[in-house]
Each structure stands twice: as structure tokens, then as C-alpha cells.
Amino acid sequence: MGIHTYKAASVLKETGMMVESNVRGFKVIADEPKALGGTNMGISPVEGLLCALGACQCMTARFFAMLLKIDLTQYQVDIEGDVDARGFLNADSGIRPGFQEIRLTVHVKANAPAEKIAELLALVESRCPVGETVFNGVPVVVRHIQ
Amino acid sequence: MGIHTYKAASVLKETGMMVESNVRGFKVIADEPKALGGTNMGISPVEGLLCALGACQCMTARFFAMLLKIDLTQYQVDIEGDVDARGFLNADSGIRPGFQEIRLTVHVKANAPAEKIAELLALVESRCPVGETVFNGVPVVVRHIQ
């Protein structure tokens, strides 16, 4: 119940943009659409980040709904995020390469009093692990092996 | 070439921890291992974040290697990140619910002079969109529809 270290490994395929990641035996393909030089065999990494965030919000809602004994009948999160490609292409642009803003629209239906649903939504906002990570940022340590 | 808004939608399935996300017609299943109340049908959201980061590092390397005319023969990123579950379960713990640190081990092989490889690695570190997002954080705006 203390600290757990999650692990993944991502390998760039021989040509093109395709990347295969492995997590506990699961294989995840990332790619870019053809317009961006890929072969469109999977979602792109920035989309992967949005999915991870949306999924984490949903699971966090399930967990705390069980704890609060709320009968959750719908929980859907629509996620969108803005990236300005000029930040990626040109360091002098002064534009950040990453997301500028992420917006979540949460559709929730539950058989529970309004104040209990409000309590649930507040818990999801403050406790969602991926949400808290992307909102506050996290130290990233990089090591190179050549 | 300016701002692009990426979109995804995540839906909590009827029971358990499973979440189905949709991105441009791609379906992505997230789940938790059985020990954490799931059915282990896919990677978890925190693992999804690590995969998105690893994949983005690899694609960014591919892009700038092409630009720098570097013949990249290997690019693999091993990613690990620490989460302390006490931050998720107990707000009074003073422990953050998200990642405390993420570590990247980048294995790179290329037919290029050492200083060109160093230039490539520096570009990946500063320009990777997912990396820059999780390192610096991003404003997240939440709206609820009941």
C-alpha cells in the first residue's frame, strides 16, 4: 500500500513514426496519422496522454463512488487539449511544445443526493493520479546509454 | 501548422474498473490488475501515461534524427515512475496522488558523430510534447454536466 514503481518500455520501430510499448506483457502501438508522417496504426502519444487522463478520471470516480455508496449509472469524460506545433518545430517561437490547456467535460448520472455527487466530483478532481500529475507536473530524470 | 485541438472520450463501463476510450475511431481499453479490483483487460491509466511519454520521446527522436540527417539504428526508452497509493487514499497524508518522479533510460545507437547525437538527445529532452507537458504541468479546466 506504499510506493509502487510502474514500468514501461517503448521501442521505436525500424522506420517511420511507429512505436511499440510494452507494459506487463501488454503491447501498445503508437503511431501518427499519414498527414504527420505515420501509418495511422494507432493513436498518437498526445492522444495517449488524453486517454490516460480520461480513463484515470473514470476509475477514480468508480473507486470513490463505491466508497461513498453512490450508484453511478453514467460517467463519461470528453477530453480535449490544444497543442501548437510551432512550439515543437521552433524553440525560438516562445511557444511551449506541450499542451497549452486541457479541458474535461464530465457527464455524470447517479442515484444519489446532489451533495453526495458534488462530494464525489470534488474527490475525482483532487485525487485522480494522472490528473494531479499533469496538472502539477512531475520531476523527470533522464539517463542516456549509448 | 498552428494550434491543433486533440480529442478523446472515455467511458466507464457498467461495472468494475474498465474504461473504454475512443480517439478518431481507435478504441483503447484501460483496466486495473485483479489485485486492484479490475479484470486486467488492459494497461492502467498511470501506465498509459508512461507509454504516452515513452512513445512521444521515440517519435520526437525520429523526427529530429531525420532533420539532422542522423541514421538512428536504435532508440528505446525504459520508463518508470513512482506512485504512493497513500496519496490517493488519504488526503491528510500530505502525499501527492500522482507520480512523485518519472525516470527515463534512453538507449540510443546511431551512425553519427557523438556531438550530433548529443544535439539530438538535447532536442528530444526539450521538445517532446508529452515530456514537456508532464514536466511543467498544464492547466486543466473541468466542467460537469449532470
Phi, psi of A31 (to 5 degrees): -155, 175
State the complex-level ipTM: 0.98
Quick one: closest CA in A to B28, which residue? Answer: A51
CB A104 within 8 A of CB B141: yes
| Helix, strand or coil, per DSSP, at residue A2 | coil
The CA distance from A70 to the nearest CA of chain B, in Å, is 13
A120's grid cell: 464525489
pLDDT (tens digit per residue) in A76-135: 999 999 999 999 999 899 999 999 999 999 999 999 999 999 999 999 999 999 999 999
Residues of B in contact with A80 (CB under 8 A): 5-8
A115's grid cell: 451533495
Closest partner CB to B45 (pick from A59, A99, A108): A59
Neighbours of B22 (CB within 10 A): 17
Residues B6, A50: C-beta atoms closer than 8 Å:
yes
Render each residue's pLDDT in chain B as its tens digit; 146 residues.
Answer: 689 999 999 999 998 999 999 999 999 999 999 999 999 999 999 999 999 999 999 999 999 999 999 999 999 999 999 999 999 999 899 999 999 999 999 999 999 999 999 999 999 999 999 999 999 999 999 999 99
pTM above 0.90, yes or no: yes
Residues B104, A8: C-beta atoms closer than 8 Å:
no
Residues B59, A12: C-beta atoms closer than 8 Å:
yes
Residues A10, B51: C-beta atoms closer than 8 Å:
yes
Neighbours of B20 (CB within 10 A): 21
Mean pLDDT of chain A: 97
The CA distance from A14 to the nearest CA of chain B, in Å, is 8
Q: Is the pLDDT of residue A1 over 90?
A: no
